[in-house]
């Protein structure tokens, strides 16, 4: 049962156990509400049989107090078992999703929109938090307690009991059989919401470009349409749910009528007495009220399937695993007949083979879309290859735990990611246990001191979200400083100096020369000035190695490389005539 609940509701094992406890607590609470009915029934019998004597008054006083205490304890237990446990599980679920996302290959993120993933962690979790605190335990409690009460009613009089409970299966069947329709409505509602969130996020991120191209008005019109679509979808979803819930609720109302009619007929024939008739009316009025809420809860639970499926898509996705022990001997990177595709049928690399030797700089060059960035990502196991083998020092990287493998790498990406923190802490990302002195030393190597000292608080200055307070070159220098600080034996540079001016590029390249001594360096570059100092050049074109060798050799024997050098020389001499 626990495993079924885990799968059905995307729960942890403890969350499934807590859900069972919550259901039991709701059953106990619902039953506790029936004790006053029994006490009232006994009071009516006493009054009809000659009144309430002194001893019986004491009995009823004690009974009322006992009922109040029992209801209080049951409610307290129910609150803790549902609400408090649910909030804990909600936190666990978000952490579990985040941990799963951390281990999933990055190819997964290429298929998913950022707003979609954010909505899963925040929106879907919030929806399930409400479901597990308000809907699931209450529904289970209502069903189980109603079943127990119904059985007790049959013990008194099966005809009256049948008149009371015949509406229950019909009402629940109407709601249950509408599940496919409700799921469809909810799925469309979620899709519209995610599209809107993606549009809002895109608008904020691209506002500068929208303004620059006078495209704000047109874009906002599209955003207005997405807002209208969300509103329309939510209304349709609510109406669709209400249609079935209200129909089911109306069916329940017939139960009171059939109890009254059946009871009246039996009473006239003298087959039941007035107290029994009164008791059934009282129980029926108490029985259907929570069931109306239960029908709404059932509809709400059905609608959560879309959210649960979205979360299970993340939780069920294969993760990258491997050994925590590094067995490499040296740091040569070898690509051996590697093939890779992001999606089925979309080949990015085919039969790529080359060696990046330790102590040398291996440059990856070639036309845009040739696979250079993909090769560098595969070298660090950001994705897993489809065929072939990639080794570091003879160690197959596909058999090494990704985080352990990345301890060997210092990486400078073309697109720099910074955090809304100080310069000091952004550089310290490279090695969290580094001292301030070590951070500053790495910053000086990356020529960060030039702009850091101009800021009000120096290295302790806040740089804004993704470093918005800094220029592109300054942001890139912080990224390079991280690599200096980490000082790993393998260095991957993806257009590391692309955002730097000539003077800073020269300074950084001098610093890099000191950093890369005795290390394996794989550099992606379009500037031939950067490539000219490489020990080996690998030219990638259309996902395969077109040529490789020393820069001077390729100038004489190659076809693509000399052409690239020539084109860049022409572009450097470009001017307005």
* pLDDT category of residue 345 using cuts at 50, 70 and 90: low
> For the ranges 52-56, 154-158, 318-322, 496-500, which has the lowest average pLDDT?
496-500
Q: Which helix (DSSP H) or strand (DSSP E) does residue 250 occupy?
A: helix 216-268
CA–CA dist 469, 458 (Å, integer): 13
CA–CA dist 284, 297 (Å, integer): 20
Residue 577's pLDDT is what?
45
CA–CA dist 448, 445 (Å, integer): 8
Residue 427's pLDDT is what?
93
What is the torsional sign of CA 398, 403, 405, 406?
positive
Q: Does 543 or 510 have the greater pLDDT score? A: 543
pLDDT at residue 496 above 70?
Answer: no
CA geometry: angle 18, 20, 24, nearest 5 deg = 115
CA–CA dist 350, 332 (Å, integer): 21
CA–CA dist 331, 359 (Å, integer): 9
pLDDT at residue 571 above 60?
Answer: no
Residue 397's pLDDT is what?
93
Residue 498's pLDDT is what?
63
Place of tokens 């099966």: 158
Share of the chain above pLDDT 70, in %: 92
pLDDT digits (tens, 9 = 90+) for 24-33: 888 888 788 7
pLDDT at residue 564 above 60?
Answer: yes
In this structure, the chain runs to a length of 577
Domains with residue ranges and CATH for the chain: 2-315 (1.20.1560.10)
Residue 573's pLDDT is what?
53
Residue 440's pLDDT is what?
93
Overall average pLDDT of the 330-341 stretch: 92
Q: Does 172 or 331 have the greater pLDDT score? A: 331
DSSP class of residue 244 equals H
Q: Give the CA distances from residue 390 to residues 117, 321, 332, 335, 385, in Å, rounded to whole numbers and listed in that order.
A: 30, 16, 10, 5, 9
* C-alpha closest to that of 334 among 545, 109, 39, 101: 545
How far from each other are the two terminal CA atoms of the chain, in whole angstroms? 79
The dihedrals phi and psi of 335, each to the nearest 5 degrees, come to -100, 120
Overall average pLDDT of the 117-137 stretch: 78
* pLDDT category of residue 569 using cuts at 50, 70 and 90: low
- The three-state secondary structure class of 472 is helix
Overall average pLDDT of the 193-216 stretch: 83
User: Which of 409-418, 487-496, 536-545 holds the top average pLDDT?
Assistant: 536-545
pLDDT at residue 234 above 80?
Answer: yes
Cβ neighbour number for residue 193 with a 10 Å cutoff: 19
Contacts of 123 (CB under 8 A, 6+ apart): 193, 307
Overall average pLDDT of the 370-393 stretch: 89
Strand partners, 522: 362, 492
pLDDT at residue 561 above 50?
Answer: yes
Place of tokens 């100038």: 555
Residue 207's pLDDT is what?
82
Residue 500's pLDDT is what?
65
Residue 2's pLDDT is what?
77
């Amino acid at each position: 049962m626990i495993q079924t609940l885990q799968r059905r509701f995307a729960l942890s094992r403890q969350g499934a156990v807590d859900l069972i406890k919550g259901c039991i607590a709701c059953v106990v609470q619902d039953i506790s509400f029936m004790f006053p009915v029994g006490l009232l029934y006994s009071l009516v019998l006493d009054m009809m049989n000659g009144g309430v004597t002194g001893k019986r008054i004491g009995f009823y006083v004690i009974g009322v107090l006992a009922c109040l205490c029992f209801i209080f304890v049951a409610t307290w237990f129910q609150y803790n078992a549902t609400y408090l446990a649910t909030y804990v599980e909600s936190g666990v679920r978000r952490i579990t999703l985040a941990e799963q996302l951390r281990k999933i290959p990055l190819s997964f993120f290429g298929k998913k929109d950022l707003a979609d993933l954010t909505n899963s962690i925040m929106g879907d979790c919030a929806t399930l938090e409400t479901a597990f605190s308000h809907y699931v335990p209450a529904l289970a409690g209502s069903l189980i307690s109603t079943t127990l009460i119904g059985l007790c009613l049959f013990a008194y009089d099966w005809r009256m009991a049948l008149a009371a409970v015949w509406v229950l299966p019909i009402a629940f069947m109407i709601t249950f059989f509408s599940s496919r329709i409700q799921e469809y409505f909810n799925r469309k509602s979620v899709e519209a919401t995610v599209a809107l969130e993606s549009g809002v996020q895109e608008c904020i991120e691209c506002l500068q470009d929208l303004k620059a191209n006078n495209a704000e008005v047109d874009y906002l019109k599209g955003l207005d349409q997405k807002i209208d679509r969300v509103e329309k979808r939510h209304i349709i979803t609510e109406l669709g749910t209400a249609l079935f819930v209200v129909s089911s609720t109306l069916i329940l109302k017939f139960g009171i009528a059939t109890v009254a009619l059946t009871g009246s007929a039996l009473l006239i024939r003298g087959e039941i007495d007035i107290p029994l008739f009164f008791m059934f009316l009282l129980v029926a009025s108490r029985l259907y009220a929570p069931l109306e809420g239960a029908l709404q809860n059932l509809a709400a639970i059905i609608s959560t399937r879309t959210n649960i499926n979205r979360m299970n898509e993340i939780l069920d996705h294969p993760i990258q695993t491997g050994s925590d022990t590094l067995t490499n001997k040296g740091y040569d990177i070898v690509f051996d007949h590697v093939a890779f595709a992001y999606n089925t049928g979309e080949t990015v690399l085919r039969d790529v083979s080359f060696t990046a030797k330790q102590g040398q700089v291996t440059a990856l060059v070639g036309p845009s879309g040739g696979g250079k960035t993909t090769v560098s990502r595969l070298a660090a196991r950001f994705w897993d290859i489809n065929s072939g083998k990639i080794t570091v020092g003879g160690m197959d990287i596909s058999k090494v735990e990704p985080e352990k493998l990345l301890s060997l790498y210092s990486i400078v990406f073309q697109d720099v990611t910074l955090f809304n923190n100080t310069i000091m802490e952004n550089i310290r990302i490279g090695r969290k246990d580094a001292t301030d002195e070590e951070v500053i030393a790495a910053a000086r190597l990356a020529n960060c001191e030039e702009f850091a000292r101009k800021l009000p608080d120096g290295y302790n200055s806040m740089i804004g979200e993704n470093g918005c307070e800094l220029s592109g070159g300054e942001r890139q220098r912080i990224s390079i400083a991280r690599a200096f600080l980490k000082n790993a034996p393998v260095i991957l540079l993806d257009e590391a100096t692309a955002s730097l001016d000539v003077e800073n590029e020269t300074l950084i390249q001098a610093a890099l020369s000191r950093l890369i001594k005795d290390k394996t360096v794989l550099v992606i570059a379009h500037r031939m000035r950067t490539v000219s100092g490489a020990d080996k050049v690998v030219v990638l074109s259309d996902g395969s190695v077109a040529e490789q060798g020393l820069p001077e050799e390729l100038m004489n024997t190659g076809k693509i490389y000399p052409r690239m050098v020539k084109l860049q020389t022409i572009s450097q001499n470009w001017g307005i005539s």
